[in-house]
Amino acid sequence: EAQVTQNPRYLITVTGKKLTVTCSQNMNHEYMSWYRQDPGLGLRQIYYSMNVEVTDKGDVPEGYKVSRKEKRNFPLILESPSPNQTSLYFCASSLRHSSYEQYFGPGTRLTVT
Amino acid sequence: SQQGEEDPQALSIQEGENATMNCSYKTSINNLQWYRQNSGRGLVHLILIRSNEREKHSGRLRVTLDTSKKSSSLLITASRAADTASYFCATLSNDYKLSFGAGTTVTVRA
């Protein structure tokens, strides 16, 4: 089944404790991206990647890192999480770039205390 | 930056009625996409309309685009309980930046 998977789905952590949210797609998509969703603000893009080893900042990249060593994986790293990063995070992928339909993962609900 | 803005923020309708929501945006676009999100889940792509198209249909969905007014509308006909969800428009700028609005929450009452 074609899908985007994210792990973990739920995470409660403390300020400053490094964490990684994994994202994987099995559709051979070139384009992958991370969004955060907060009430009343819609989805805001954190980082995106046009292909392996090519990443770029979205609208809200501060406090996040990404890497794209393999085509299928695009992990999101929070080196020192803070409470304002409490949010619902989505990974998405598409065939080539953002002009194609986006396939979204199920989401990761992160709480930073 | 949030380019698309949906209106209304929330909509409650009876099963069988039509639901219409609008999306307005500020700058020129390459295409506009509509997505559905069921509570707490990932977004699902519904329909994509290109800047040179005026109307598209997919099943019970009808999307219009008026580039002169910088607006789009999504119509869901003969709504069902399963249509209860949040609906988002996403605008793609000419430099391939995809921006989502805050969404319209639709509740379909039985």
The 10s digit of each residue's pLDDT in B8-63 is 999 999 999 999 999 999 989 999 999 999 987 899 999 999 999 999 999 999 99
A101, B45: Cβ pair inside 8 Å? yes
Cβ-defined contact of B98 to A107 (cutoff 8 Å)? no
- Phi and psi at residue A6, in whole multiples of 5°? -130, 145
- Omega into A75 within 30° of 0, i.e. cis? no
Q: Is the bond leading into B8 cis (omega within 30 degrees of zero)?
A: yes
* Residue B2: per-residue pLDDT: 54
Q: Which residue of B has its CA nearest to A4?
A: B42
CB contacts of B40 in chain A (<8 Å) are 88, 107, 109
Q: Which residues pair with A88 in a beta bridge?
A: A37, A109
Per-residue pLDDT of chain A (113 residues; tens, 9 = 90+): 889 999 999 999 999 999 999 999 999 999 999 999 998 888 999 999 999 999 999 999 999 999 999 999 999 999 999 999 999 999 999 998 878 899 999 999 999 99
Query: Smallest CA–CA separation between B22 and chain A, in Å?
Result: 15
**How far apart (Å, rounded) are the C-alpha atoms in residues B63 and B60?**
10
CB contact under 8 A, B88 and A43: yes
Contact B2 A42 (CB under 8 A): yes
| Residue A63 Cα distances to A18, A92, B26, B42, B57, angstroms | 11, 19, 29, 23, 41
